[in-house]
Chains A and B, each alone.
Chain A
Amino acid sequence: MLTAEVQAEINAEMAHYPYRQAVAIDAMLIVQKHHGWVSDESIRDIAELLEMSAADLDGIATFYNLIRRKPVGRHVALICDSVSCWIMGCDKVRDRLCATLGTPLGGSTADGRFTLLPIVCLGVCDHAPAMMIDDDVHTDLDEQSIDKILEKYA
């Protein structure tokens, strides 16, 4: 069941478009904002609300990398692996992050605190290497600065 709050937010988006299926992506992002990810049950609920098939909606969900069809940790760390960050040594930062958190890219820590994912260029190339944790962008990273940044996320 979609909560009343989620439904209200989806309805508000619907007012901006000529038909309800147009908010498929917005609806999934709204669910994700509240629950962290989009479950099979949520896919069915949203599909019903939008009067489309769950299979069609899942086809859309799996196209977009920012829609998560698996549970994630309390915090999601997105580490940029695009060209400017690569030149500035993001591989070392990534290796350090994986070692510190004890999880490979694409995995979550055992305590459910972090999920670590690769991301394409975050658009802060003049301060590479960069990563994003939840809504915060962290820049000019090196192997030493990582630990202090992670401390902020309980």
Chain B
Amino acid sequence: MEKPLTSRFRSDGEPVDIAAYERAAGYEGLRKALTMQPQAVTDTVKQSNLRGRGGAGFPTGSKWSFVPMSADTPRPKYLVCNADEMEPGTFKDRVLMELDPHSLIEGMAVAAYAIQADIGYIFLRGEYRCSAKRITAALAEARERGYIGHNILGSGFSFELHLHVSAGRYICGEETALLNALEGKRAHPRTKPPFPQVSGLFGKPTIVQNVETLCNVPHIVSKGPEWFRGLSRTGDSGTKLYGVSGKVKRPGLWELPLGTTMREIIEEHAGGMRDGVRFRGLLPGGASTDFLVEQHYDTPMDYTQVQNAGSRLGTGTMVVLDDKTCPVGMVLNLEHFFAQESCGWCTPCWSGLAWIEKILTAMEQGAGKPKDLDELAFQTKFLGPGNTFCALAPGAVEPLQSALKYFGDDFRRHVDEKRCPWR
């Protein structure tokens, strides 16, 4: 089984340095891209069917094709890496940046060439101190060898790349809020349109991509789109970093073909449930995705089929709920997070999420009322798509609406028994 994203990883936890990276065919993707027309690089990525690994799953090549390429395009154009991994339960981009930072730098250089970006930023969450150190060191190595900077490898193409360390807040993962943060402002999301591809950072054409997405790009250019499509088991291309946390025997992170089933990930890779607990469900891709339950155990975990099952692949890092953990308590924990992290810009989000947290807190404390269930169900619609400024609130109600669907009896028990049955 080929594992392009993780095959260079060292077993001692140290980062791959530039010499080792080059020995393992590193920067070959960039060398090849520089011999191609920029449009041909975008076409290659389009043909590979690579979809964004940050959560939304938008086709990467299509995103690039919206960037204006004519001679009179406003400059500089920007490429931004969204390395603000703050989705609860998600720990994949950190591993890529810590163990193979050059893979991200090469991916950014190739993507920058495709859209002819002049300047790039890696927008890194502040708590990722180890990633910051290793990226800083790798940037210096790459600059010294001419892989970034002026006139890259004598091609005439120039691309400056900087690290920006963020000061917190989940909303910075929303791409337009991220751009405001990068401009030194409060991270409120922006109205779309205009889309960042046309008017993004500092009002200039900008692409924002997730770390894992970018790390795939050099391999696609080197080995071709057919190779990439062949890595998956289903219609969505490539491999995926899947993670599992919660009460399984071996929590961890694995690079597997896209479309690997939930059963295989949980049973074979995570070792199944710990002794004494039973599987009840999981969030397939971080806090803002709908629960899947036992009936979905054989779902291939790709974008299309997880969506057909009523959820989203999201970040592909799963959080497992077991029978000794209270589902209402778990949802309260999630909604506390979202209420706290709401940026405060639009009313349904800051008001609605606080209200949801209040109701769930009362339920956990034995003060829930029968009408609270209807109220919660109403809020999931009220905060749904189309009613809020950005995707934070609609994402926040995904675990709640699916918990009401699959664990409704547990919510009712809290109200009827006037206590949390798990305490």
Contact = CB atoms under 8 A, between A and B. Distances in A.
Given A82-B287, A126-B251, A121 B90 contact: yes
Interface residues on A, range: 35 or more
B266 to A, nearest CB: 13
Contacts of A151: none
Contacts of B184: 17, 21-26, 60
Contact of B319 (A16, A87, A123): A87
Given A82-B88, A120-B341, A121-B88, A126 B167 contact: no
B94 A126 contact: no
Contacts of A59: 186
B339 to A, nearest CB: 12
B334 A83 contact: yes
B89 A83 contact: yes
Task: Say what secondary structure dominates the interface of chain B.
Answer: mixed
Contacts, number: 131
B8 interface: no
Nearest to A59: B186
Interface stretch (B53-61, B241-249, B356-364): B241-249
A29 interface: yes
A66 B130 CA distance: 17
B86 A121 contact: yes
Interface in B149-168: 160, 162, 164-168
Contacts of A24: 184-185
B89 A125 contact: yes
B21 to A, nearest CB: 23
A87 B186 contact: no
A106 B87 CA distance: 23
Interface of A: 16-18, 21-26, 28-29, 59-60, 63-67, 78, 81-84, 86-88, 119-128, 132, 135, 137
13 contacts: A25-B166, A25-B181, A63-B169, A64-B187, A65-B168, A66-B166, A82-B333, A87-B247, A119-B127, A121-B87, A122-B127, A123-B85, A123-B93
Interface of B: 85-91, 93-94, 121, 125-130, 160, 162, 164-170, 181-187, 202, 243-247, 251-253, 283, 287, 317, 319-322, 325, 329-330, 333-334, 337, 340-341, 343
